[in-house]
Structure 1
Amino acid sequence: MNQTLDKAREEVTKLYGYRLRLRVCGIYIEGDRLLMVRHRGIGPTDTFWCPPGGGSQFNETAHEALIREFKEETGLDIRVGDLLFVNEFMHPPLHALELFFSVQATGGQLRQGFDPEMSLDGQIIEEVRLMTIAEIKSYPPEEVHTLFQQCRSINDVVELTGYLNQ
C-alpha cells in the first residue's frame, strides 16, 4: 500500500471510525445516469463508489448538510427533494445511518470536490462522474454502495423505500 493511501485510510478511521454517524446522501439523476463519487481508503480494495453525501453537523438540518456536502464534493448547487429511503451502512470500522434524498441541480459546475475536514494528503475523493447502472454494476460488489445490489435500473434506485439493512 502506498503512503498516500495509508494516510487516507488512517484519516477515515480517525474521523469516522468506531462511532455511529448520521449521513445524508443525494440521488441526482441526469438522463439515464446517476451522479457517483469514488473514494479511496474505504473498503477491502480501497475503492468505493457511492452517491454524494456526508456527515451532518451539530445544529445543521439534514437538508442544509446535504446542500453543503453536495457543493463540497461535486461543485453543484442543489435543491433537496423527498426522502427516498434510509440505509444502515455497517462496514467496520465504519457505521452510519444514511438518509437518501432525491436532489435537483440548481447551479454550480460539476467537478471533483474535496473533504474540508481532511488534510491535503489525506483526501479521499478521487473522481466524480455521472454513471449508468451498467457502469456501476461493472465494478465488484464490494467497490460500490450496497444499495445497488437491489437495483437493476435507475428507476429501481428512486423506487427504493423504507429502511435498508445491509
Structure 2
Amino acid sequence: MTQVLEKPGVDSSRQEVLKLYGNRLRLRVCGLYREGDRLLMVRHRGIGITDTFWCPPGGGAQFGETAPDALVREFSEETGLEVKIGDLLFVNEFMQPPLHAMELFFEVQATGGTLRLGSDPEMGLDEQIIEDVQLMSFDEIKSYPPEEVHTLFQHCNSLDDVFQLRGYLHP
C-alpha cells in the first residue's frame, strides 16, 4: 500500500485529494456529453504530476445510490446541467497511485440546466479542485500533454472514436 505523506510546499488541494480519495479503490461514474464536435470536459487541480487534469464530468457513487443517479448528481454539481443517462459504454481503470478508481463511462444527453463552473461538495470552499468546465474539440483535448488529460484519449483518434470505445480499457 502506498503511504501518503504530508510534505512541506505541496499544494493543499493535492493533499485534500489524497486525504479524501487516496489509498483506496473507488467506484466512479463518468459522463460523455457531446455538442456537435465538442465534448464536455472538467479541469481539476491537485491531480497528476502537473496539478492539471482534464476529464469528462463524473465522480464517486455514494452507498445506496445507483450509478445513473450518481451521474445525474455529479453533472448537476460540477456543470449545472441536468442530464438523462444513456448507455454504459466502457469501463476504465484509473491508476495513478495513490489514486485508484474503476470508472463507468456512460453516454449522456442534456435535458436542462445551464452550463457553469460547479463545485465539489466534499471539498471546502477554499479547497475546491474544479477550476474550469469547457466544451472542447478533440484537437483541443489532444493539444494538452498526455499526463494532463484522461487516459481514455490515448485509445482514440477522433471524438467519434471516444463514443465507440467498449469493454475494459487497459491502463
Do these two structures clear the TM 0.5 threshold for a shared fold by scoring above it? yes
Report the CA distance between 1:98 and its aligned residue: 0.1
> Which consecutive residues of structure 1, in runs of 5 or more, have no partner in the other structure?
none
Cα distance in 2 for residues equivalent to 1:143 and 1:91: 12
Instruction: Provide runs of 4+ in structure 1 moved above 6 Å.
Output: none
Amino acid at match of 1:89: F
User: Does residue 135 in structure 1 map to residue 144 in structure 2?
Assistant: no
Partner of 1:18: 23
Partner of 1:113: 118
**Contact kept in structure 2, 1:5 and 1:40, CA below 8 Å:** no
**Contact kept in structure 2, 1:24 and 1:99, CA below 8 Å:** yes
Secondary structure of the structure 2 residue equivalent to 1:72:
helix
**Contact kept in structure 2, 1:151 and 1:157, CA below 8 Å:** yes
Alignment counterpart, residue 156 of structure 2, candidates 131, 151, 157: 151
Amino acid at match of 1:38: R
Report the CA distance between 1:19 and its aligned residue: 0.2
Partner of 1:94: 99
Cα distance in 2 for residues equivalent to 1:50 and 1:125: 11
Count of aligned positions? 164
User: Does residue 78 in structure 1 map to residue 91 in structure 2?
Assistant: no
Report the CA distance between 1:121 and its aligned residue: 1.3
Cα distance in 2 for residues equivalent to 1:88 and 1:33: 24
**Contact kept in structure 2, 1:89 and 1:165, CA below 8 Å:** no
> Normalising by the residue count of structure 2, what TM-score does the alignment of the two structures yield?
0.94
> Normalising by the residue count of structure 1, what TM-score does the alignment of the two structures yield?
0.97
CA distances 1:7-43 after superposition (whole Å, capped 9, x unpaired): 1101100000000000000000000000000000000
> Which consecutive residues of structure 2, in runs of 5 or more, have no partner in the other structure?
1-7
CA distances 1:101-140 after superposition (whole Å, capped 9, x unpaired): 0000000000000000101111000000000000000000
RMSD: 1.3
Amino acid at match of 1:57: Q
Secondary structure of the structure 1 residue equivalent to 2:134:
strand
Secondary structure of the structure 2 residue equivalent to 1:84:
strand
